[in-house]
């Protein structure tokens, strides 16, 4: 233990505020982002609490209509743009990509830091907008309400989102170049960990899609200032706004889920001690999701004046995009089969992900059916569907990854029992919150309404009770992670005893990651060969030239 | 830094030739705008613009002779751009065909 | 376990996380191309809106386009393509380690860019007085509403393009100043190369804006 005190890590190399705020170390930037997005998650969560509290009773008695509209708008904007989109990429992506490819940092470290400041600028502007009156258009900013009729300040929050979009673009572009150009010798594309494939696909989406929402928001801001691009009284077409908005916002959901899937692809082989089933198919499916994901956005426009023919085309393509996701789910399940499964907390999150993502994905297919969508569009069915994917999927993936790599990031082991409790509470609370919403939506309860007919009250009360449990589940990790920083056992290089380049490094790693560039000579997840040497030599087999 | 030996006079000559060609094409596109070719006007105008763009990319931006990765980057980006054009046009062109209000 | 010493001063401009200068150069140029792809998608949104409305309101777009001065538009096109040539010469000078030439050609590029912007400012003022600025639209015609959509897109597209030019010219000042300090040689001239890519992209956008905005239905 004493030698560790003197060991230089990225955490103790430089204690000044300046060394953190002006860092170009990708690992420190991960921490900076982690703190920021946690703050935004709390804000988004408070909005969710306000919504669920209001919906306990059928009457609109807790919040006024206008305030309720602002609550769900802010909940959506904060959770989508300021939490989910950056979540895994800006934290675990930043931390792990150089480690997993044997690099000393990302390709453009200063641009990495810049992306955090851009994110902060956008987030601050959006929060200032909230404090000075808020926005009530819904996070989707549909015209012409947002451009011509809204009485709330649209320009300010829209500008905040516009600016944060550039943070996303900078992160994605950095990752693409890093993965192409900075891989260690011997690390061919098909020896990359699946997390890298997932991050690469995510970055493609970030780079190709985000500029489109940026320009669309800019056009909406211009319209708000008197231009007439989407003004129906001038012949403008609000559906054009929706086409352009969803051209990004649908692929955006893949920005949110692909990294989570990458995390699951890392956790499952680790806790089954087995080579992942169908590596090539999982890698290819990440790219397939990214590409086909750009072709389905019209399914958000089924109930608009989008033509029936376009709707049919989008419906078929939406069915197609489910296929690569299903491929992943089958392959994860096949990996579990006859594996040596252990149920540490990251694995519980991963298994929870598989179940919840399955439900979310299947209900997405229900929504892809034109006839059914006509009935359940803009009801709680849709709300439940996307929360199953974004919360049951993406956030479970985030939590799973956070638990799995926490020892590497912090150098400490968190207590396992509270972690298991948190995972179970989150799973139970999540289903309690959102499953009743499927039923309520199917029975016709519209979304974004703050008063509703009394027959929906039971389902809403169940949902709010579930939300309470979910909130407790989310609060627990904060406490035991913080506890672990002071009192947690020191993690060695490889506390889980698994394979992966990042597990050959110290926990926490040295600022420059590798003392010598590793040379990669084998496939990832090479577990059967490692089974004999499992134990004291675990994790060393894949890296020939790393010195300890 | 590039893997090819650098030939200054050939490079400058290429730049000047491209500039000359761009001037010719600009004159051509302006002239063509005044000739009534029906729907071909659009085709000609875009065709000339694409030719100019290709020259700027190949010679001024050094794409000619660069790695496959750069080509992949450019054509990938253009592919996605075309998707963004294509699908809303499917919508636009197939509206009001069914005779059902709002579709 | 011994700690690693602080890395030695990098040779030339090699940054510590790169293995060699070739990798660094390729990374920088590839990075710029990825950025240009994002710019293609950024402008692409406006082009999509343009395409959408041009098809719907073909006649109104023709009428609206006739308000634009084709002589000024052609002049600006020639000027901007000229500035692309001067920018290419700046990159060439960097490749030849000629510091003063770099600064000269960049200054020439900036001059041509300024002429372009000056003409655009003139055109904008003219449109404003004719009542064609969409936020202050008082031009009357049977298809005035649809012409307002055209002008919304005209000002948005050319305005965004002009903004990119201004940002580019701002960065050019820094590059020219660095060039005069002898920062760029044939061994390392990456910022000049990247500036060139950016400026040529700005030219590419105009190559498409010009026929789409100025040359519709002139016959």
Q: Domain ranges in chain B?
A: 1-66, 67-103
Can you name the residues that pair with C188 across neighbouring β-strands? C185
pLDDT at residue B4, rounded to an integer: 58
Cβ of B29 and C208 within 8 Å?
A: no
- Assigned token pair, A158: 């829209």
Q: Return residues 13-72 of B near C (CB < 8 Å).
A: 15-16, 18-19, 22-23, 26, 29-30, 33-36, 41, 45-46, 48-49, 52-53, 56-57, 59-62, 66-67, 69-70
pLDDT at residue A465, rounded to an integer: 97
- Assigned token pair, C96: 């030849």
C169: in domain: yes
Smallest Cα–Cα separation from A229: which of C67, C55, C125, C146? Answer: C146
Domains of chain A, CATH where assigned: 2-530 (1.20.210.10)
Identify the sign of the CA torsion A331, A335, A341, A344. Answer: negative
Identify the sign of the CA torsion A525, A526, A531, A536. Answer: negative
Contact C112, B31 (CB under 8 A): no
C7: in domain: no
The secondary structure of residue B100, as a DSSP letter, is -
Minimum CA–CA partner of C189 in chain B: B1
Nearest CB to B8; choose among C74, C81, C96: C96
**Strand, helix or coil for residue C97:** coil
DSSP 3-state percent helix, strand, coil across chain C (nearest 5): 75, 0, 25
Nearest CB to B83; choose among A294, A305, A310: A294
CATH of the domain at C151: 1.20.120.80
C13: in domain: no
Contact A327, A283 (CB under 8 A): no
Question: How far apart (Å, rounded) are the C-alpha atoms in residues A464 and B4?
Answer: 67
Please report residues of C whose CB lies closer than 8 A to that of A8.
3-4
Cβ of A240 and C52 within 8 Å?
A: yes
Contact A298, A311 (CB under 8 A): yes
Domain tally for chain C? Answer: 1
User: CA distances (Å), A525 to each of A191, A194, A398, A519, in order?
Assistant: 10, 10, 21, 16
Nearest CB to A211; choose among C31, C42, C135: C42
Instruction: Kindly report the pTM of this predicted structure.
Output: 0.93
Q: Which residue has the tokens 């000339």?
A: B48
User: CA distances (Å), B17 to each of A20, A439, C109, in order?
Assistant: 52, 69, 18
Q: Which residue has the tokens 């990458």?
A: A262
| A204 close contact with C: CB closer than 8 A | no
Within a 10 A sphere around the Cβ of C78, how many other Cβ atoms? 16
Residue B74 backbone dihedrals phi, psi, to 5 degrees: -65, -50
User: CA distances (Å), C57 to each of A15, A143, C46, in order?
Assistant: 62, 20, 16
- Assigned token pair, A5: 């005190």
Contact C119, C171 (CB under 8 A): no
Q: Read out DSSP for A147-213?
A: III--S--HHHHHHHHHHHHHHHHHHHHHHHHHHH-PPTT--GGGS-HHHHHHHHHHHHHHHHHHHH
Residue A231 backbone dihedrals phi, psi, to 5 degrees: -85, 110
Kindly tell me the burial class for residue A439, based on how many C-beta atoms sit within 10 Å of its own C-beta (0-12, 13-18, 19 or more): middle
Q: Return residues 220-249 of A near C (CB < 8 Å).
A: 222-223, 225-229, 231, 233-237, 240, 243-244, 247
Smallest Cα–Cα separation from A135: which of A174, A106, A161? Answer: A161
Kindly tell me the burial class for residue C158, based on how many C-beta atoms sit within 10 Å of its own C-beta (0-12, 13-18, 19 or more): buried
Q: Which residue has the tokens 């300024």?
A: C114
Cβ of C51 and B85 within 8 Å?
A: yes
Q: What is the ipTM of this complex?
A: 0.91
| A515 close contact with C: CB closer than 8 A | yes
Q: Which domain holds residue C84?
A: 21-214
DSSP 3-state percent helix, strand, coil across chain A (nearest 5): 70, 0, 30
Minimum CA–CA partner of B80 in chain A: A208
3-state secondary structure A432-479: HHHHHHHHHHHCCCECCCCCCCHHHHHHHHHHHHHHHHHHHHHHHHHH
Please report residues of C whose CB lies closer than 8 A to that of A235.
53, 56-57, 145-146, 149
In b/e form, how buried is each residue of A342-381, taking b as 16+ CB within 10 angstroms? eebbbbbbbbbbbebbbbbbebbeebbbeeebeebbebbb
Per-residue pLDDT 10s for chain A (548 aa) are 444 457 889 998 888 999 999 999 999 999 999 999 999 999 999 999 999 999 999 998 899 999 999 999 999 999 999 999 999 999 999 999 999 999 999 999 999 999 999 999 999 999 999 899 889 999 999 999 999 999 899 999 999 999 999 999 999 999 999 999 999 999 999 999 999 999 999 999 999 999 999 999 999 999 999 998 998 988 899 999 999 999 999 999 999 999 999 999 999 999 999 999 999 999 999 999 999 999 999 999 999 999 999 999 999 999 999 999 999 999 999 999 888 899 999 999 999 999 999 999 999 999 999 999 999 999 999 999 999 999 999 999 999 999 999 999 999 999 999 999 999 999 999 999 999 999 999 999 999 998 999 999 999 999 999 999 999 999 999 999 999 999 999 999 999 999 999 999 998 999 999 988 899 988 898 887 544 444 444 444 343 333 32
Cβ of B6 and C95 within 8 Å?
A: yes
Question: How far apart (Å, rounded) are the C-alpha atoms in residues A194 and A282?
Answer: 7
Strands (E), chain C: none
Please report residues of B whose CB lies closer than 8 A to that of A294.
80, 83
Please report residues of A whose CB lies closer than 8 A to that of B83.
294-295
User: CA distances (Å), C188 to each of A106, A487, C13, C116, in order?
Assistant: 21, 50, 7, 31
Please report residues of B whose CB lies closer than 8 A to that of A313.
87, 90
C15: in domain: no
C91: in domain: yes
Cβ of C41 and A510 within 8 Å?
A: no
- Assigned token pair, C55: 């098809």
């Amino acid at each position: 233990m004493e030698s560790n005190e003197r060991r230089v890590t990225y955490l103790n190399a430089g204690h000044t505020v300046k060394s953190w705020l002006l860092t170009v170390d990708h690992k420190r930037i991960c921490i900076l982002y982690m703190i920021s997005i946690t703050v935004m998650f709390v804000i988004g969560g408070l909005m969710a609490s306000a919504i669920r509290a209001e919906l306990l009773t059928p009457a609109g008695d807790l919040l006024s209509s206008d305030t309720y509209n602002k609550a769900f708008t802010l909940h959506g904007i904060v959770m989508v743009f300021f939490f989910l989109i950056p979540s895994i990429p800006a934290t675990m992506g930043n931390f792990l990509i150089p480690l997993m490819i044997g690099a000393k940092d990302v390709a453009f470290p200063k641009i990495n830091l810049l992306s955090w400041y851009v994110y902060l600028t956008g987030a601050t502007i959006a929060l200032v907008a909230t404090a000075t009156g808020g926005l009530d258009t819904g996070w989707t900013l549909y015209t012409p309400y947002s451009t011509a009729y809204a009485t709330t300040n649209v320009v300010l929050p829209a500008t905040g989102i516009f600016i944060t979009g550039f943070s996303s673009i900078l992160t994605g572009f950095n990752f693409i170049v890093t993965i192409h150009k900075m891989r260690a010798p011997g690390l061919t594309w098909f020896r990359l960990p699946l997390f890298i494939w997932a991050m690469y696909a995510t970055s493609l989406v970030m780079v190709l899609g985000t500029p489109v929402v940026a320009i669309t928001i800019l056009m909406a801001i211009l319209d708000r200032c008197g231009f007439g691009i989407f003004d129906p009284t001038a012949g403008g077409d609000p559906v054009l706004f929706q086409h352009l908005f969803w051209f990004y916002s649908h692929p955006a959901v893949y920005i949110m889920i692909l990294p989570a899937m990458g995390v699951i692809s890392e956790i499952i082989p680790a806790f089954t001690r087995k080579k992942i089933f169908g590596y090539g198919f999982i890698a290819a499916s990440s790219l397939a999701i990214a590409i086909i994901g750009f072709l389905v956005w019209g399914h958000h426009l089924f109930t608009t004046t989008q033509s029936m023919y376009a709707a049919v085309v989008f419906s078929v393509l939406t069915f197609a995009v489910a296929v690569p996701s299903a491929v992943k789910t089958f392959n994860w399940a096949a990996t579990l089969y006859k594996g040596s499964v252990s149920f540490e907390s990251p694995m519980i999150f991963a298994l929870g992900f598989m179940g919840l993502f399955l439900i979310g994905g299947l209900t997405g297919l229900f929504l892809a059916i034109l006839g059914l969508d006509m009935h359940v569009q803009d009801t709680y069915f849709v709300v439940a569907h996307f929360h199953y994917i974004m919360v049951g999927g993406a956030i479970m993936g985030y939590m799973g990854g956070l638990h799995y790599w926490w020892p590497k990031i912090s150098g400490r082991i968190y207590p396992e029992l509270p972690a298991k409790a948190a995972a179970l509470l989150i799973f139970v609370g999540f289903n309690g919150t959102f499953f009743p919403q499927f039923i309520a939506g199917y029975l016709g309860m519209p979304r974004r309404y703050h008063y509703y007919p009394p027959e929906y009250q039971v389902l809403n009360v169940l949902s709010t009770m579930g939300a309470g449990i979910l909130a407790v589940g989310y609060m627990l990790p904060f406490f035991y992670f913080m506890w672990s920083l002071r009192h947690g056992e020191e993690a060695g290089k490889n506390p889980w005893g698994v394979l992966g380049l990042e597990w050959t490094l110290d926990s926490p790693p040295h600022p420059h990651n590798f003392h010598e560039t590793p040379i990669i000579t084998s496939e990832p997840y090479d577990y059967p060969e490692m089974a004999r040497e499992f134990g004291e030599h675990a994790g060393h087999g894949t890296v020939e030239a790393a010195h300890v | 830094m590039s893997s090819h030996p650098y030939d200054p006079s050939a490079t400058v000559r290429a730049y000047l030739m491209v500039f000359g060609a761009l001037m010719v094409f600009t004159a051509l596109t302006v002239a063509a705008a005044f000739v009534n070719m029906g729907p071909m006007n659009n085709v000609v105008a875009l065709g000339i613009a694409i030719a100019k763009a290709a020259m700027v990319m190949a010679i001024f931006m050094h794409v000619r002779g660069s790695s496959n990765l750069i080509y992949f980057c450019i054509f990938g980006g253009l592919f996605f751009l075309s998707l963004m054009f294509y699908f809303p046009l499917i919508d636009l062109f197939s509206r009001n065909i069914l005779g059902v209000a709002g579709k | 376990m011994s700690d690693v010493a602080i890395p030695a001063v990098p040779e030339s401009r090699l940054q510590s996380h790169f293995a060699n200068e070739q990798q660094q150069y390729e990374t920088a140029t590839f990075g710029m191309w990825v950025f240009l792809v994002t710019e293609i998608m950024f402008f692409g949104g406006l082009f999509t809106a343009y395409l959408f409305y041009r098809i719907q309101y073909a006649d109104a777009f023709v009428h609206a386009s006739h308000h634009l001065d084709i002589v000024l538009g052609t002049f600006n096109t020639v000027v901007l393509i000229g500035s692309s040539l001067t920018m290419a010469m700046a990159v060439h000078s960097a490749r030849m380690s000629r510091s003063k030439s770099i600064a000269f050609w960049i200054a020439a590029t900036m001059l041509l860019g300024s002429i372009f912007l000056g003409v655009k400012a003139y055109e904008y003022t003219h449109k404003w007085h004719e009542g064609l600025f969409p936020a202050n639209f008082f031009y009357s015609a049977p298809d005035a509403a649809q012409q307002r959509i055209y002008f919304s897109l005209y000002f948005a597209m050319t305005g965004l393009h002009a903004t990119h030019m201004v940002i580019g010219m701002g960065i050019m000042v820094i590059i020219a100043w660095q060039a005069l300090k002898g920062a760029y040689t044939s061994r390392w001239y990456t910022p000049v190369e990247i500036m060139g890519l950016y400026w040529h992209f700005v030219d590419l956008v105009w190559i498409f804006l010009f026929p789409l905005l100025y040359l519709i239905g002139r016959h």
